[in-house]
């Protein structure tokens, strides 16, 4: 019997090289434990508009472009109802524009109060560089806000090789465009060699939509939404209850791995290297 190779077999190529780049989110991932800065300001602009919102309502859409985020808060049924009670009409696009105009200067004014690097960031970045990985970054922040973050990070010793924010692309998260711009700037290939790390669900999707690996950070960011000091004061039971809620949520969104914070990243990268060697794809 003779095989006719062209018709009876298909041939699949698989990438077996190393990780080439890691792409970090900003707030809640490398700086601002608890992702506090934007949440506080969303509350301020809604208060100014006459419709105070809870911290939970403020945090729901985190990771999106900040103007999109303001609009998404207005669509939360409880907020919408209170808006109609206060203003006698549904929230309109002009209302979102107005709140966004208020948001930008308020956010820029307080950003540096929340810019301490998250513990582990410097060590992990140094180890990644030792291995030859490029360091990229993405954010839902706009260029003026990112400039503040970048300057504050540099003072603490963190300087990524590339940074793209929601203002730099036509489509922010959950689209993969910011990650793809990083890939081009960092000059790495293929997408299977890239790992995205993020504290939000939409930021996990961003990494997956770009075609790479995605790692969710359950504790240091938006999903718990408390400062490092508050987190450290929680009992073991409370901490575990947060993990029991957030880990499955992130895995169900498609994260390949979920860990507490950036400090736990290196064993995950070791595992991805091993899977790539075996020919696995994200």
Distance CA 195, CA 231 (A): 27
> By the 8 A CB rule, do 273 and 184 touch?
no
| Binds Mg ion by CB under 5 A, chosen from 19, 21, 23, 28 | 28
Position 216 contacts Mg ion (CB under 5 A): no
| Binds Mg ion by CB under 5 A, chosen from 19, 27, 125, 195 | 27
Please, which contacts does 148-155 make with residues 24 or more away whose CB atoms are closer than 8 Å? 148/108, 148/111, 148/112, 148/115, 149/26, 149/27, 149/31, 149/111, 149/115, 152/31, 152/111, 152/112, 152/115, 153/30, 153/31, 153/115, 153/117
DSSP state, residue 41: H
Contact pattern for Mg ion over residues 90 through 119, marking x by CB under 5 A = ------------------------------
Q: How far is the CB of 257 from Mg ion (least distance, A)?
A: 17
Identity of the residue, 51 or 145, whose beta carbon is nearer to Mg ion in the bound complex: 145
Distance CA 274, CA 148 (A): 37
Q: What is the set of active-site residues?
A: 25, 66
Q: How far is the CB of 166 from Mg ion (least distance, A)?
A: 12
Q: Count residues near Mg ion (CB under 5 A).
A: 4
| Binds Mg ion by CB under 5 A, chosen from 22, 23, 25, 186 | 25
Position 250 contacts Mg ion (CB under 5 A): no
For residue 94, the tally of other CB atoms under 10 A from its CB is 8
Contact stretch for Mg ion (CB under 5 A) within 20-28, 182-190, 235-243, 263-271: 20-28
Residue 175 burial by Cβ neighbours in a 10 Å radius (0-12, 13-18, 19+): middle
- What value, to the nearest 5°, has the Cα angle with vertex 59 and ends 106 and 226? 90
CA 81 to chain centre: 29
SS3 36: helix
Contact stretch for Mg ion (CB under 5 A) within 76-84, 194-202, 223-231, 240-248: 194-202
Site for Mg ion in 145-164 (CB under 5 A): none
Q: How far is the CB of 264 from Mg ion (least distance, A)?
A: 16
For residue 149, the tally of other CB atoms under 10 A from its CB is 25
User: Which residue of the chain is nearest Mg ion when measured via CB?
Assistant: 28
Distance CA 183, CA 180 (A): 5
Contact stretch for Mg ion (CB under 5 A) within 21-29, 88-96, 112-120, 158-166: 21-29
Position 199 contacts Mg ion (CB under 5 A): yes
Identity of the residue, 95 or 199, whose beta carbon is nearer to Mg ion in the bound complex: 199
Identity of the residue, 120 or 190, whose beta carbon is nearer to Mg ion in the bound complex: 120
Identity of the residue, 61 or 212, whose beta carbon is nearer to Mg ion in the bound complex: 61
Interacting residue ranges for Mg ion, rule: CB under 5 A: 25, 27-28, 199
């Amino acid at each position: 019997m003779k095989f006719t190779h062209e018709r009876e077999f298909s041939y699949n190529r698989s990438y077996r090289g190393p990780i080439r780049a890691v792409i970090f989110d900003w707030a809640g991932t490398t700086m601002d434990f608890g992702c506090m800065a934007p949440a506080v300001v969303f509350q301020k602009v809604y208060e100014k508009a006459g419709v105070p919102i809870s911290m939970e309502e403020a945090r729901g859409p985190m990771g999106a472009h900040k103007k999109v985020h303001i609009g998404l808060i207005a669509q939360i049924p409880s907020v919408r109802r209170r808006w109609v009670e206060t203003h006698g009409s549904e929230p309109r696009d002009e209302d979102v524009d107005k709140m966004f105009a208020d948001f930008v200067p308020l956010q820029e004014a307080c950003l540096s109060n929340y810019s301490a690097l998250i513990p582990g960031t410097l060590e992990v970045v140094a180890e990644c560089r030792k291995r030859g990985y490029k360091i990229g970054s993405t954010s839902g922040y706009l260029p003026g806000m990112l400039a503040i973050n970048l300057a504050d990070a540099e003072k603490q010793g963190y300087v990524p090789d590339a940074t793209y924010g929601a203002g730099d692309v036509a489509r922010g998260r959950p689209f993969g465009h910011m990650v793809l711009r990083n890939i081009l700037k960092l000059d790495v290939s293929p997408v299977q060699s890239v790992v995205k790390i993020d504290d939000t669900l939409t930021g996990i999707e961003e990494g997956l939509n770009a075609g790479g690996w995605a790692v969710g950070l359950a504790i240091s960011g938006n999903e718990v939404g408390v400062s490092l000091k508050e987190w450290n004061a929680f009992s073991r039971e409370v901490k575990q209850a947060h993990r029991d809620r957030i880990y499955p949520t992130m895995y169900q969104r498609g994260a390949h791995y979920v860990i507490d914070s950036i400090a736990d990243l290196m064993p995950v990268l070791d595992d991805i290297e091993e899977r790539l060697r075996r020919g696995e794809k994200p």
